Chains A and B, each alone.
Chain A
Amino acid sequence: MTAVAARSGLVPASFASVARAQVTSSYVPVTQNGMAVHQNAIVIDGAAPLLPSTLNRKHIDRWIEGGATAI
């Protein structure tokens, strides 16, 4: 699916490559409960989450549900 998407030009090649790498990744999460980490830490997500194309109340809800402290 990823390769097809890359060939179609619908997604940037770099993103398709990332998805392919994730399939074969041997990464093991440090914790199985990321939400617990967020409960104890101050989490600031500065990755431009409220760009004009995402002016949607539900998108703000995602950060609340994810336990972010500030965005």
Chain B
Amino acid sequence: MAAEVIAWISEQIETRPELMVCRTDDDVRTAKREGKLGIFYRLQGPSPIGLDLDLVWFYKQAGVDLMQIAYNTRNPFANGATERIDGGLRTLGVGLVKACNSALVIVDVSHTGERSQLDAIEASSEPVIISHGNAFERSTTRATSLTRFSRLLRPVGARPGLLAIRPLFPRTSSPRWTTWLA
């Protein structure tokens, strides 16, 4: 299905001049300057590659520069954030991280279990990101929670992306961004 989605989006980009692919920060600036809508290709989970690590290269050439290694549930590569047991990166997951490193696909550990997040950092030769999440203590769901990961980021000056989808905010308050800065 991912290939079909990429094909559809690619068609839109080719046929609509107000759209453009964004693969670098310069592309984003170009989109802003020219009044276009930039589109990133990314995979929110590794299911499109099945168990074939070589397909990382296929998606890279299709324009995918970022891949999440799990989406909430356990998969052949890693543990998801909502699993009952906090399992680490699986053997195939180590291979996935290294395949992404080789293909220069950014490893994203959003929606990934904490132990797998930490394992991915250890296994990766390139910077690992968590593109979106919320402080665990402030979150209403484990799906996007940040815990020790964000604390690991601080010493190196990195920052996690925060997620502002309304259902994830505490229900009893009027949330502001400072609510999330645990």
Contacts and interface: CB of A to CB of B under 8 A. Distances in A.
B5 A50 contact: yes
A70 B167 contact: no
B156 interface: no
B159 to A, nearest CB: 14
B38 to A, nearest CB: 3
A3 to B, nearest CB: 14
Contacts of B38: 69-71
A17 B37 contact: no
A9 interface: no
A35 interface: no
B163 A47 contact: yes
Contacts of A25: 174
B44 interface: yes
A69 B28 contact: yes
B165 A47 contact: yes
A42 interface: yes
Interface size class of B (residues with CB under 8 A): 35 or more
A52 B8 CA distance: 10
Contacts, number: 66
B166 interface: yes
Nearest to A30: B176
Interface string B44-61: 100000000000000000
Nearest to A21: B171
A48 B166 CA distance: 15
B12 interface: yes
Contacts of B132: 46-47
B91 to A, nearest CB: 28
Interface in B100-157: 131-132, 140-141
B37 A60 contact: yes
Contact of B172 (A15, A21, A63): A21
B171 A68 contact: no
Contacts of B161: 46
Nearest to B8: A55
A52 B140 contact: no
Contacts of A71: 37-40
B22 A18 contact: no
Given A55-B5, A70-B39, A70-B40, 6 more contacts: A14-B141, A46-B40, A46-B131, A57-B16, A64-B37, A69-B28
